[in-house]
């Protein structure tokens, strides 16, 4: 601006001297305009071919504009480079991950996956983008997992192609309505678990026969009248301990049998009120029962299931209630049906269970008070057996308990399992 004023001033002076004021001023203005147009042209040409041209060497405000553009361009170039580095790092990281990752859109359509997911799920780059994951991973368990919509835990499926490959699939929410499918190969864990189960099953079977022989001899000797009183005392203890060992081995065999069978329990009619009435007779006749026992059958309906497993469920719960209820207490067993299905509950006025133990109660060998459980002949496997038998019948169990007051264990069976004899 000051330079333009100077030029105009000079033009005015020349105009005054020559007497051609208007022509001189117009000439000066025209020259200034032409110069600015030329600078604008240089700037525009440089912006257009920035990659191949150096920035024009302009002074004044045009020079400032060029410097500003150069600064913005440099910043953009830096951010672009950084972004490319981040993307490259992300790609390397996801390729190195031991797990497969699939990014899914709102309609479960595939947006992206890493090479591991491609290998495990048999997906193809580009070809499968945009297709729904459930159309490409065709597996009934995975489909019902998606339909259920409860993704807190993964679902384990057997891979259709390949040999014995087991995959764990878990959906994880992220972004807005998007999901990640995390895929892990859990074949090794499944194999180890199967080996563990086989080992427990084989070991318990191997122990059963020698134990029966030992228990038989101990029984005979303990009942022999010529045995010394001191030795008889030891024999009585041996008899008690061998009975406990037999109970543990029997429970281990039963648990292994239930665990090795993933399928549903058969649909064979079981007269539940009749079964419970028979059990009631046995409970009343039990010599170790010190509490009152009451049985309320509020339904004549029975169930479709495996009788031996249902017997195990009922007898374990009633047995526990009697074991953990001191003399003078009361145990009530109830069977009823309603619109939701069949229900069996056992309520006792016994020792109760503190809340922190409740979630772990159905674990194998989990005992609230190991001393008390062993003293009463408990194997620590009863509730694990109950849980597995219920699972095979599509059932579930609630436990409500208060320490020192008593507990209620309630089993729920689905309506589809409830039936009458005809």
> Which of 283, 321, 389, 397 is in the footprint of ligand ADP by CB under 6 A?
321
Q: How far is the CB of 286 from ligand ADP (least distance, A)?
A: 15
C-alpha distances in Å from residue 248, one per residue of 166, 203, 214, 349, 392: 32, 12, 15, 26, 22
Helix (H) or strand (E) holding 67: helix 60-96
Select from 42-50, 272-280, 282-290, 381-389 the region that touches ligand ADP (CB under 6 A). Answer: 381-389
369 binds ligand ADP (CB under 6 A): yes
Min separation Cβ 405 and ligand ADP, Å: 10
The verdict on 347 binding ligand ADP (CB under 6 A) reads no
Under the binding rule (CB under 6 A), the answer on residue 244 touching ligand ADP is no
Would you count residue 280 as binding ligand ADP (CB under 6 A)?
no
Beta carbon nearer to ligand ADP, 141 or 363: 363
Q: Which stretch binds ligand ADP (CB under 6 A): 133-141, 146-154, 202-210, 361-369?
A: 361-369
What Cα–Cα distance (Å) separates residue 142 from each residue in 132, 137, 145, 149, 379?
A: 13, 8, 5, 11, 36
CA distances to 316, 319, 374 from 370, in Å: 17, 17, 6
- Give how far the C-alpha of residue 319 lies from the chain's centroid of Cα atoms, to the nearest Å: 33
320 in contact with ligand ADP (CB under 6 A): yes
Instruction: Kindly state the smallest distance separating residue 233's Cβ from ligand ADP, in Å.
Output: 26
Nearest partner of 346 among 323, 364, 321, 328, judged by Cα: 321
CB 321 within 8 A of CB 330: no
Q: Is 395 in the site for ligand ADP (CB under 6 A)?
A: no
Give yes or no for a contact between 118 and 99, defined as CB atoms under 8 angstroms apart. Answer: no
Residue with Cβ nearer ligand ADP (134 or 250): 250
Q: Minimal CA–CA distance to 319: which of 404, 226, 383?
A: 383
We find the least distance from the C-beta atom of residue 363 to ligand ADP, in angstroms, to be 8
Q: How far is the CB of 325 from ligand ADP (least distance, A)?
A: 7
Q: Which stretch binds ligand ADP (CB under 6 A): 48-56, 130-138, 165-173, 343-351?
A: 343-351
């Amino acid at each position: 601006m000051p330079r333009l004023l100077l030029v105009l001033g000079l033009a005015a002076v020349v105009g005054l001297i020559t007497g051609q004021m208007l022509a001189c001023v117009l000439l000066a203005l025209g020259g200034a305009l032409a110069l600015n147009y030329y600078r604008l042209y240089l700037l525009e040409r440089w912006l257009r071919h920035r990659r191949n041209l150096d920035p024009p060497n302009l002074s004044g405000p045009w020079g400032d504009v060029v410097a500003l553009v150069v600064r913005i361009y440099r910043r953009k170039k830096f951010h672009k480079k950084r972004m490319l580095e981040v993307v490259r790092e992300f790609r390397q990281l996801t390729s190195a991950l031991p797990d497969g990752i699939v990014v899914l859109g709102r309609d479960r359509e595939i947006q992206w996956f890493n090479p591991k997911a491609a290998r495990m799920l048999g997906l193809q780059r580009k070809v499968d983008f945009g297709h729904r994951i459930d159309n490409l991973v065709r597996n009934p368990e995975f489909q019902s997992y998606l339909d259920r919509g409860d993704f807190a835990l993964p679902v384990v499926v057997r891979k259709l192609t390949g040999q014995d490959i087991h995959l764990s699939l878990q959906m994880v929410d992220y972004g807005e309505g998007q999901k990640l499918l995390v895929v892990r190969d859990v074949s090794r864990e499944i194999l180890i678990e199967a080996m563990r189960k086989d080992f427990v099953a084989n070991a318990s079977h191997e122990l059963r026969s020698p134990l029966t022989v030992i228990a038989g001899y101990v029984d005979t000797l303990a009942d022999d009248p010529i045995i010394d009183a001191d030795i008889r005392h030891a024999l009585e203890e041996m008899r008690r301990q061998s009975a406990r060992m037999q109970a543990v081995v029997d429970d281990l065999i039963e648990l292994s049998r239930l665990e090795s069978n993933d399928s549903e329990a058969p649909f064979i009619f079981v007269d539940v009120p009749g079964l419970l009435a028979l059990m009631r007779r046995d409970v009343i006749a039990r010599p170790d029962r010190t509490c009152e026992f009451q049985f309320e059958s509020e339904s004549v309906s029975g169930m479709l299931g495996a009788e031996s497993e249902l017997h195990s469920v009922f007898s374990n719960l009633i047995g526990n209630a009697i074991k953990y209820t001191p003399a003078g207490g009361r145990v009530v067993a109830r069977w009823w049906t309603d619109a939701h299905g069949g229900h069996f509950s056992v309520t006792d006025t016994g020792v109760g269970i503190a809340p922190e133990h409740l979630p772990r109660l159905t674990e194998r060998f989990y005992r609230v008070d190991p001393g008390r459980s062993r003293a009463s002949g408990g194997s620590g496997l009863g509730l694990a057996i109950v849980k597995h038998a219920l699972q095979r019948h599509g059932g579930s169990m609630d436990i409500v308990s208060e320490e020192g007051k008593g507990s209620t264990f309630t089993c729920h069976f689905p309506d589809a399992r409830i039936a009458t004899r005809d």
